[in-house]
Amino acid sequence: MSDLPEFIEHLYEKYRLLDSGSLASYIPELTKADPNWFAISIVTKEGEVFQVGDSQEHFTIQSISKVFVYGMALEDCNRQILLEKIGVEPTGDPFNSVIRLDENSKRPDNPMVNAGAIATAGLIKGSSATDKLNRMLNMFRRYIGHDVFIDAPVFMSERATGHRNRALANLLLNFGIIDNNIDEILDLYFQQCSLVVNCHDLAVMAATLANRGINPITKQQAVKSCYIRDILSVMHTCGMYNYAGEWAYRVGIPAKSGVSGGIIGVIPDKAGIAVFSPLIDKRGNSVRGIKVFEDLSDEFDLHLFDSPLEKCSFLDISKHSKESMVIGN
Ligand code: GLU
């Protein structure tokens, strides 16, 4: 088994020049990303940091936000009410699919596809749109451990061009899943997607999920630990768009990706992993991100269903405690 800092450096070099995939263009502002950006960050539940590449480069979180807003909605409404409005069934359909609401319940299939995420945004509590946004930003602050911002141009760009999401919201309204303040709900959804993060932030957020909801660096509780199982379950079955089944088979780590090129993975009770590279495949997943996760999972036996006897994880902290380090920028 390799040494972790060396191995992520090796992965960075191995995939740095892989240039298949393309930038997401259906949100015009996202085409401003640099296709060369590439970072790998790992944060353990003890707060150790391993990273390589452009880990401080800023980008918008996009769909990865769905994981954290789902946790917030669970806290705001409780599990039962949420389940009445949003299912937990993988779809096999693209993330922005318009065609599926459950025939009987009219619920969107799960909170990781856009229809389910818009319904989730509709369940966030607050006395006004501003109050809801502030509560949401505070939630993200707890996960990330520092102040957070919305990228206004990306938000405006998505708001101006998000006709498909607007259609989904109308469908949800028609079936009584959201109430009729569609513009407010969509704004909150577009704002959550426009949150500015870097790859290190994403790894801290993933590590917080790995650490029963406690940010391993600030030690602040970001989400009640009783909801971690809900969040990780939907990540595991629905987090990678219509690649979720293959991902679960090949990589075996609860994960979520976004069209700006981030992927987070959670190793329960151990660590959070984030990869950022904005070239995405047809399903919306970062091409280099998938490769890096596949190699990490293979090398360190991270698949959840690997035999415990085979697991000899890099996350055995005693081995690396003096080697926590930052490589590259
Ligand atoms: N804001 C994007 C949308 O709703 C998120 C898509 C994604 O990252 O999957 O289309």
Q: Mark which of 193, 223, 257 sits at the end of a domain.
A: 193
161 with 148, same domain: the answer is yes
pLDDT tens track for 62-96: 999 999 999 999 999 999 999 999 999 998 777 66
Query: Which among 25, 159, 259 is the best mutation to test ligand 1's pocket, defined by most ligand atoms within 8 Å of the CB?
Result: 259
- The pTM assigned to this predicted structure is 0.93
25 with 51, same domain: the answer is yes
139 with 236, same domain: the answer is no
d(CA 108, CA 212): 27
d(CA 279, CA 241): 16
Active site residue 259: yes
97 with 30, same domain: the answer is no
207 with 281, same domain: the answer is yes
SS3 string of 306-322? CCCCCCCCCCCHHHHCC
50 with 106, same domain: the answer is no
Question: Quick check: 276 and 199 in contact, CB under 8 A?
Answer: yes
pLDDT tens track for 230-272: 999 999 999 999 999 999 999 999 999 999 999 999 999 999 9
CATH of the domain at 167: 3.40.710.10
Q: Mark which of 138, 170, 193 sits at the end of a domain.
A: 193
The pLDDT value given to residue 101 = 67
What one-character-per-residue DSSP string does 8-47 give? HHHHHHHHTT---SB---SSGGGGGS-TT--EEEEEETT-
Is the CB of 158 inside a 6 Å radius of any atom of ligand 1?
yes
Pick out the chain residues at pLDDT < 50: 317-329
Query: What's the 153 CA to ligand 1 centre distance in angstroms?
Result: 15
228 with 273, same domain: the answer is yes
Query: What's the 90 CA to ligand 1 centre distance in angstroms?
Result: 17
The pLDDT value given to residue 158 = 95
Active site residue 20: no
Q: Mark which of 193, 209, 238 sits at the end of a domain.
A: 193
189 with 67, same domain: the answer is yes
82 with 143, same domain: the answer is yes
Q: What's the total number of domains in the chain?
A: 2
Nearest CA to ligand 1 atom 7: 63
Atom of ligand 1 nearest to the CA of 96: 10
Active site residue 143: no
9 with 21, same domain: the answer is yes
Q: Whole domain around residue 280: which residue ranges?
A: 4-59+199-327
124 with 225, same domain: the answer is no
Query: Which among 91, 93, 95 is the best mutation to test ligand 1's pocket, defined by most ligand atoms within 8 Å of the CB?
Result: 95
